[in-house]
C-alpha cells in the first residue's frame, strides 16, 4: 500500500482512505484507476484489489505515474508553444501569411499540421463503449463508435471518478442554465447558415447512432466520407435511388430543374410527419434530410453534381457501362467533398491566414494509416446547434421553426439559387462561450449530456490533457467570467468534474472566434484524420486513373464550394461560408492565392 500512497495526490489519497475506512469489513477498496493517476497518455491497469500500474510505453515519460519526461521529451516540452500561442500567430499578420502561402513553406507547414493533428487520434482504435481496455472486439467490430479515452470505471465513487458530486446535476437543468439562448449571439467570424447546413448535412453521413442496437453503436459502417447521405448506407437503399442508366441517380424535373425523386419513385424509408403525403416526400440517401430545407438543398446540389459528372464521364468513356460510371463518379464526388471541406469549410472554421491545402501526396513519405473510425467523442463534440438562428429569412419572408421544419415545398417554390443566397447572407450563431441554443432544439443538447453519462465519458479536463492542453484549475479560468463560474461550481463542486460536452460549450471562446480552444484542439485531429485517412487519399488510389483519367482528376483538384453550386444552377448566386460585407464580398476574405470561394457572383460557364 505504501507505493500507492506515494503515487496518489494528497486529496485523492484522503478520499481513498475515507472510502476504505467508511465501512470496515464490508466496503470494497476504491479502484485506484478512478483517480486517473496515469498522466501523458499512460494506461492505468488495476493490480490486485488495491494497486495499479501505469503503462508508459512510448509516451516519452516514465515513473510510477508517467510524470517524469525523458530527455528529448523534456526538451520538446520546453520548446513547444501553447495552443493559444500558435492560434494567435496563425490568425494574425496577414501580410506575412500571404507571402508564406505562395512559397514551398506552405506545403511544409501543411504536412506538419496534418501529421501532428492526426497522430493525436489512435489508429487502429483502442476502446469502445463496451470495452475500456484494448480488445479485438474494439478493433474489429465496426458497428461500434470507437473512443479515445476509456470509460470511467463503473465502480468509482463518483460519476467522474472521485471528483465532483455523487450524482451529477440534472441534464435538463445544466442545459437550461448554460446552453439556453436568452439573446441571439451572432458568430463574430461572420459564419452563415450556408456553413451551418453544410456542417449538418456533411456529418450526417458518419454520425448515425443506432438506437436499436444501443448507445455507442453506429449504422454508418463506412466510418468516414463515403457520401452515404447521398447514396444510402446500404446496398439496397443505394439501388432504390439509382436510375441504372448512364451511372445516374433517380431524379424528377420541376420547372426545368432537377430535384430528388419522391418516395413513390424511389421507395426508400424517409422520416416525415404522417400528414405529409408521399408525393411531397423527397427520397435521398439520408432518411432525416426532409427535416430542414437547408439539408434537402444540399442533397439536391449533390444529386445534380453526380448526374453532371456522369455525363462528363460518359462523353469521355462511351464504352463504360452503368456500374463503372456510377462507381467512378462516386469516387470523384468523395474527392470533391474532401477538397471543399479542407479548403473552404475547415479554412473558414479555423480563421487561419495559413491557406490550408488538400494534397494527399504531402503524407506519402510519412507513416500514416488509411483507415478511419468515428469516435463517440467526435460525435458528441459536433453538436453545433447554437449555429441555428431565431428564425430563417428567405427573400422578403421570415419563417419560425414551426414553419421551417419539414417544409416540403420551400425548396421547389424558391429554387436552389434563392436558398443558397438567403442562407449565405444570414448570420449563424456563436457556438461556444455563451448560452446560445434555441429553446426549440435544446432537447438535443439534453440528449447529448444523457448519452455521455450512459457511456461514462471522462471529464472535460481529462480530455484536455489527452489532447495536449493544460487542465483548467478553476471555474473562472474555464469560463473567463464569474457568474457562470459560480453556478458551475455550485453544481459540479470541482472543475475536474465538469462533463465533456458542457465543458466545450461553456469554455471561453478564442478572441473573435466561434468557439474556444478545446473545440479546435480536440475536433481538428478527428476531422483531419478522417479526411486524409480516406482510401482515395492513399498512394494506391490517388492517381488520375482512379477518377476516370485526367478530366475526373481535375474535377477533384479544382473543386470548391462556389463551383459546386454554380455549375449546378442557372444563375450563380452569392455563395460562401461567411456573410457578405456592405460591398457584397465575404465579411472576412480567405487568404489570397488559392481555390477558396471568393463569394463573388459570376457566370457558371466560367467556373
**What are the cell numbers at 63?**
515513473
Alpha-carbon gap, residue 570 to 497, rounded angstroms: 54
Cα angle at 585 between 583 and 586, to 5 degrees?
Answer: 135
pLDDT tens profile 10-53: 444 444 444 444 433 345 789 999 999 999 999 999 999 889 99
* Phi, psi for residue 51 in degrees, rounded to 5: -105, 175
pLDDT tens profile 548-601: 999 999 999 999 999 999 999 999 999 999 999 866 666 543 433 333 333 443
Full DSSP string of 534-583: SGGGSTTT-SGGGGTSHHHHHHHHT--HHHHHHTTSSS-----SB-B-TT
Cα within 13 Å of Cα(58), Cβ side = 2
Asked if residue 268 has pLDDT above 90, the reply is yes
pLDDT of residue 51: 93
Alpha-carbon gap, residue 307 to 332, rounded angstroms: 12
Asked if residue 399 has pLDDT above 80, the reply is yes
pLDDT of residue 319: 97
Torsion sign (Cα): 338, 340, 346, 349: negative
Q: Residue 249 gets which letter from DSSP?
A: B
- For residue 463, give the nearest of 429, 498, 508, 488 by alpha carbon: 498
Q: Answer whether 146's CB lies under 8 Å from 375's CB.
A: yes
Q: Length of the chain, please?
A: 607
- How are beta strands 127-128 and 146-147 bridged, if at all? antiparallel
- How are beta strands 252-254 and 61-62 bridged, if at all? unpaired
Asked if residue 345 has pLDDT above 80, the reply is yes
pLDDT of residue 371: 85
Q: Residue 199 gets which letter from DSSP?
A: H
Q: Answer whether 544's CB lies under 8 Å from 550's CB.
A: yes
pLDDT of residue 212: 63
pTM summary value = 0.90
User: For the residues 63-83, what does the mean pLDDT come to?
Assistant: 92
Beta partners for 257?
A: 254
Q: Residue 459 gets which letter from DSSP?
A: P
Quick count: other Cβ atoms within 10 Å of Cβ 214?
12
Terminal Cα distance for the chain, rounded: 71
Residues marked active site are found at: 204, 382
Alpha-carbon gap, residue 248 to 240, rounded angstroms: 12
pLDDT of residue 368: 82
- For residue 478, give the nearest of 495, 466, 454, 500 by alpha carbon: 495
* Phi, psi for residue 357 in degrees, rounded to 5: -140, 130
Confidence of residue 7 (pLDDT cuts 50, 70, 90): very low
Q: Which of the pair, 368 or 502, is modelled with greater confidence?
A: 502
Q: Name residues whose C-beta falls within 8 Å of residue 82's C-beta, 6 or more positions apart in sequence.
A: 470
- Looking at the chain, the whole-number percentage of residues with pLDDT higher than 90 is 77
pLDDT tens profile 162-219: 999 999 999 999 999 999 999 999 999 999 999 999 999 999 988 877 666 667 888 7
pLDDT of residue 597: 37
pLDDT of residue 585: 67
pLDDT of residue 9: 46
pLDDT of residue 206: 85
Quick count: other Cβ atoms within 10 Å of Cβ 165?
14
Asked if residue 602 has pLDDT above 60, the reply is no
Q: Answer whether 165's CB lies under 8 Å from 158's CB.
A: yes
pLDDT of residue 29: 85
Burial of 366 by CB count in 10 Å (0-12 exposed, 13-18 middle, 19+ buried)? exposed
Q: Residue 45 gets which letter from DSSP?
A: E
**Helix/strand/coil percentages in the chain, nearest 5:** 45, 10, 45
| DSSP-derived 3-state class of residue 414 | helix
Crossing angle between the packed helical segments 105-118 and 517-532, to the nearest 10 degrees: 100
Average pLDDT, the chain: 89
Query: For residues 240-250, b (16+ Cβ closer than 10 Å) or e, as one string?
Result: bbbbeebbbbb
How far is residue 571 from each of residues 357, 562, 564, measured CA to CA in Å?
28, 12, 13
Q: Which of the pair, 606 or 588, is modelled with greater confidence?
A: 588
Query: For residues 310-326, b (16+ Cβ closer than 10 Å) or e, as one string?
Result: bebbbeebeebebeebb
* Phi, psi for residue 148 in degrees, rounded to 5: -85, -45
- Out of 90-94, 293-297, 468-472, 486-490, least confident range: 90-94
- For residue 419, give the nearest of 521, 300, 258, 324 by alpha carbon: 300
pLDDT of residue 334: 96
- Out of 73-87, 256-270, 344-358, 407-421, least confident range: 73-87
Amino acid at each position: 500500500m505504501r507505493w500507492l500512497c506515494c503515487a496518489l495526490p494528497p486529496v485523492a489519497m484522503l478520499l481513498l482512505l475515507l472510502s476504505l475506512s467508511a465501512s470496515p469489513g464490508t466496503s470494497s477498496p476504491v479502484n485506484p484507476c478512478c483517480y486517473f493517476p496515469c498522466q501523458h497518455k499512460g494506461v492505468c491497469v488495476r493490480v490486485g484489489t488495491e494497486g495499479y500500474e501505469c503503462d508508459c510505453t512510448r509516451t516519452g515519460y516514465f515513473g510510477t505515474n508517467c510524470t517524469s519526461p525523458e530527455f528529448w521529451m523534456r526538451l520538446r516540452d520546453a520548446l513547444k508553444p501553447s495552443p493559444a500561442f500558435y492560434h494567435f500567430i496563425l490568425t494574425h499578420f496577414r501580410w506575412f501569411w500571404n507571402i508564406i502561402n505562395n512559397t514551398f513553406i506552405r506545403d511544409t507547414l501543411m504536412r506538419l499540421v496534418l501529421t501532428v493533428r492526426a497522430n493525436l487520434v489512435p489508429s487502429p482504435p483502442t476502446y469502445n463503449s463496451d470495452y475500456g481496455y484494448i480488445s479485438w472486439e474494439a478493433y474489429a467490430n465496426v458497428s461500434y463508435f470507437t473512443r479515445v479515452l476509456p470509460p470511467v470505471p463503473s465502480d468509482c465513487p463518483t460519476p467522474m471518478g472521485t471528483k465532483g458530486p455523487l450524482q451529477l446535476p440534472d441534464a435538463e437543468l445544466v442545459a437550461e442554465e448554460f446552453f439556453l439562448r436568452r439573446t441571439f449571439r451572432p458568430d463574430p467570424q461572420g459564419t452563415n447558415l450556408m456553413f451551418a447546413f453544410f456542417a449538418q448535412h456533411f456529418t450526417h453521413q458518419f454520425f448515425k447512432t443506432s438506437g436499436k442496437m444501443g448507445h455507442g453503436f453506429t449504422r454508418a459502417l463506412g466510418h468516414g466520407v463515403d457520401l452515404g447521405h447521398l447514396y444510402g448506407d446500404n446496398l439496397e437503399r443505394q439501388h432504390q435511388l439509382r436510375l441504372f442508366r448512364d451511372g445516374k441517380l433517380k431524379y424528377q424535373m420541376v420547372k426545368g430543374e432537377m430535384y430528388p425523386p419522391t418516395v413513390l419513385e424511389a421507395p426508400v424509408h424517409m422520416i416525415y410527419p404522417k400528414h405529409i403525403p408521399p408525393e411531397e416526400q423527397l427520397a435521398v440517401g439520408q432518411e432525416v434530410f426532409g427535416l430542414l430545407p437547408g439539408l434537402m438543398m444540399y442533397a439536391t446540389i449533390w444529386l445534380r453534381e453526380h448526374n453532371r459528372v456522369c455525363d462528363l464521364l460518359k462523353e469521355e468513356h462511351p464504352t463504360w457501362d452503368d456500374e463503372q460510371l456510377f462507381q467512378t463518379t462516386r469516387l470523384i464526388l468523395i474527392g470533391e467533398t474532401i477538397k471543399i471541406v479542407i479548403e473552404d469549410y475547415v479554412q473558414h472554421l479555423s480563421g487561419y491566414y495559413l491557406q490550408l491545402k488538400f494534397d494527399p501526396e504531402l503524407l506519402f513519405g510519412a507513416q500514416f494509416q488509411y483507415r478511419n473510425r468515428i469516435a463517440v467523442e467526435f460525435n458528441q463534440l459536433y453538436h453545433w446547434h447554437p449555429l441555428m438562428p431565431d428564425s430563417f429569412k428567405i427573400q422578403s419572408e421570415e419563417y419560425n421553426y414551426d414553419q421551417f421544419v419539414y417544409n416540403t415545398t420551400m425548396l421547389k417554390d424558391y429554387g436552389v439559387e434563392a436558398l443558397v443566397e438567403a442562407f449565405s447572407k444570414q448570420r449563424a450563431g456563436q457556438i461556444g462561450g455563451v448560452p446560445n441554443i434555441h429553446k426549440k432544439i435544446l432537447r438535443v443538447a439534453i440528449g447529448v449530456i444523457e448519452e455521455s453519462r450512459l457511456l461514462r465519458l471522462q471529464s472535460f479536463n481529462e480530455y484536455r490533457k489527452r489532447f495536449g492542453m493544460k487542465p483548467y484549475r478553476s471555474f473562472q479560468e474555464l469560463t473567463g467570467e464569474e457568474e457562470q463560474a459560480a453556478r458551475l461550481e455550485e453544481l459540479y463542486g470541482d472543475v475536474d468534474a465538469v462533463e465533456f460536452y458542457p465543458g466545450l460549450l461553456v469554455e471561453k471562446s478564442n478572441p473573435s472566434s466561434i468557439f474556444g480552444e478545446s473545440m479546435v484542439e480536440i475536433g481538428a485531429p478527428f476531422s483531419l484524420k478522417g479526411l486524409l485517412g480516406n482510401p482515395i487519399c492513399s498512394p494506391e488510389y490517388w492517381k488520375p486513373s482512379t477518377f476516370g483519367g485526367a478530366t475526373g482528376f481535375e474535377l477533384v483538384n479544382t473543386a470548391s464550394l462556389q463551383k459546386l453550386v454554380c455549375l449546378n444552377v442557372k444563375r450563380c448566386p452569392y455563395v460562401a461560408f461567411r456573410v457578405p460585407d456592405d460591398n457584397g464580398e465575404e465579411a472576412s476574405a480567405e487568404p489570397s492565392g488559392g481555390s477558396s470561394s471568393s463569394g463573388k457572383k459570376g457566370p457558371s460557364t466560367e467556373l
